[in-house]
Copies of this chain bind each other. A is one copy, B any other.
Amino acid sequence: MSTAFISEETLLSYGATFKKVNKGDLIFMEGGAACFYYQLVEGRVRWVNINEDGREFIQVMIEPGESFGEFPLFDDQPYAASAIADDDCVLLRLHKTNFHQMLRSNYDIHFNFTRLLVSRLRFKFLTLRELAYNNPEQRISTMLNYYKRLRGIEQKPCKLHLTRQQLADMTGLRVETVIRTIRTLHERGRLTIQRGKVFY
């Protein structure tokens, strides 16, 4: 997933437009209606659920080239999660109608899109099993692993830009627990930590 999921030229040819958003901006909100396909060009986006008490659960961390918020385009249901700019971002967005036209007229794009959904589902299958049964140590390790695999990173260790809080929001743990856990993992040489970064 290092290159764009659908090439920028293709998206532009179907009428997509660029959009800039600032760090912390809400791109769309859980429960709202959708009319755009989004693809990230630059920056990072948190695709999250926000609880009543303000806690976040990060469903997917979106990296450049990846798409997000596509569910409503297929079933006309509201967004399943909110998208928040984790950094200053540049997005490409394509209107629903044009998106469907693109799928209909291009089998390969449609097929690749299906494949993307499959890879997201695999990720969810793995995460779910992990959350259900394992302790913080395993949860964190496996989450880092899946996170790498999801975007096809092979080398080890690699630098993942995640704060302790974000790691907590991805694993359903508390910051304090994440801090304590990655410290012991670090001491055992399983990973390296820096402020805002984890090397795994």
Residues in chain A within 8 A of chain B (CB atoms): 49, 51, 55, 57, 59, 70-71, 74-75, 77, 80-81, 103-104, 107, 110-111, 113-115, 117-122, 124-129, 131-133, 171-172
For the complex formed by this chain, how many copies does it contain in all? Answer: 2
A152 to chain B minimum Cβ distance, whole angstroms, is 12
In the bound complex, what is the Cα–Cα distance between A74 and B71 (angstroms)?
Answer: 19
| Cβ-defined partner of A113 (8 Å) among B107, B114, B124 | B114
A197 to chain B minimum Cβ distance, whole angstroms, is 23
A55 to chain B minimum Cβ distance, whole angstroms, is 7
Closest to A123 in B: B124
| Cβ-defined partner of A57 (8 Å) among B103, B107, B121, B133 | B133
Q: Which residues of B contact A122 (CB under 8 A)?
A: 71, 75, 77, 80
Given A104-B107, A132-B172: A125 in contact with B80 (beta carbons within 8 A): yes
| CB–CB A81/B51 < 8 A | no
| CB–CB B81/A125 < 8 A | yes
Q: Taking A51-B133, A71-B122 as given, write out 8 further A-B residue pairs in contact, using a Cβ cutoff of 8 Å, ordered by the A residue number.
A: A70-B118, A71-B118, A103-B111, A113-B114, A114-B114, A120-B121, A124-B125, A131-B172
